[in-house]
Structure 1
């Protein structure tokens, strides 16, 4: 089925006394003036404390985003430890045919930052499912590896293995009557029910034919898909050039409510 700080330390009592003695040496007859009574800060307003002399106040460093934005702990637990690149495809609802894709990269400090996107996308005609079967017209929910690419057109400069083959040609019309020609000019295979390391055209289905297969990221044809995710051709080329197999890229995809679990 053709279609990854601080408060400066207060002076000790001994130090404070020594300072008062030193400042009183120039006029021994005059006792030190009493310190003014502290003024209470207005209600709801925190009293500020000066920083150390000669140092300007600095803002707190931002806390790294240790989970992918919009992805909850249950879903994020399926992202492999070695993965540092993830395409998050978020559907508006379980039945939506439209979604948004953003590529994130994890920096050495462990935080996730946007690398490319967001991009508008289409997914399957009937939305999403956590139990995909052949012909259900839903896109599988989950975390899947992205390791192989191909297409009818030449490699646009990806680091992934790329299979250029005339068999990626397609004709006919989609669910909205839109032409499908050019949809497979570039594709990225989603490792759902396929053997990694092979061309996207490979038809072996380890989970059985009834669980479907051939789930790709391919060129958008202005309508919903059988099960795939689509991107505009220039967005897909940008994705292909950005994906790095050394970063063990994955796609994390599903409706927003599921991904947030």
Structure 2
């Protein structure tokens, strides 16, 4: 059972904004550890995600790894990314919805259908992978969902918050406590 929950609540299914609150479960108690803070979500709102929508996937998903262009203090597995780091969104690729390292122009998937993580800019200074459609991976059901730094706009399906708030969450998240994100 998860003892760390990042709750993301939208006012309605088509909203592009939400409120994020982090909770720790200790024994029978639930303690708020951060938030509530404003968050941007997919410009198509919350619900069933796919490659053809900009919707944030509703549900409960694990938070097991993180990445960024800048170092971070976190207990999650964390990797520094460059322009040779990708998230594969090519539905025909066996690497679909996974990270991949390869120099641009050399990847074994359609790079136009992938996301060059290091080229995104400040939004990926730090990011946590939302474990939606990861196990098992279903091609076309949606890929590349992250909790990342906001640019002040709706996302393509990610959850985005101010950088200082994300830094607090990264320091707090502990794999031993099975952290999850609940989106609804």
Report the TM-score range of the alignment, normalised by the length of the smaller protein.
0.7 to 0.9
1 or 2, which has the higher strand percentage? 2
1:190 corresponding residue in structure 2: 130
Shift, 1:116, TM fit: 1.1
Compute the RMSD of aligned alpha carbons. Answer: 1.3
Match of 1:106 in 2: 25
| Structure with bigger RCO (C-alpha 8 Å, 6+ apart) | 2
Runs of 4+ with deviation above 2 angstroms = 167-171
Q: 1:248 aligns with which of 178, 181, 184?
A: 178
Corresponding residue for 2:33? 115
Q: Give the deviation of 1:147 after TM superposition.
A: 0.6
TM-aligned CA deviation for residue 92 of structure 1? 1.2
Whether 1:169 aligns to 2:118 is yes
Contact 1:88-1:252 at 8 Å conserved across structures: yes
- CA–CA separation in structure 1 for the residues paired with 2:137 and 2:54: 20
TM-score (norm 1): 0.56
- Correspondence list, 1:1-261, <5 A: 82-108=1-27, 110-129=28-47, 131-155=48-72, 157-167=73-83, 168-171=117-120, 181-194=121-134, 206-208=137-139, 210-254=140-184
- Highest CA radius of gyration, 1 or 2? 1
Output the CA distance in 1 between the equivalents of 2:37 and 2:80. 25
1:191 Cα offset (Å): 0.3
Gaps of 5+ in 2: 84-116
- With normalisation by structure 2, the TM-score equals 0.79
Kindly tell me the number of residue pairs found equivalent between the two proteins: 151
- 3-state SS, counterpart of residue 154 of structure 1: coil
Q: Deviations over 1:211-237 (max 9, x none)?
A: 111100011001001010001001000
Q: Is the partner of 1:105 in helix, strand or coil?
A: strand
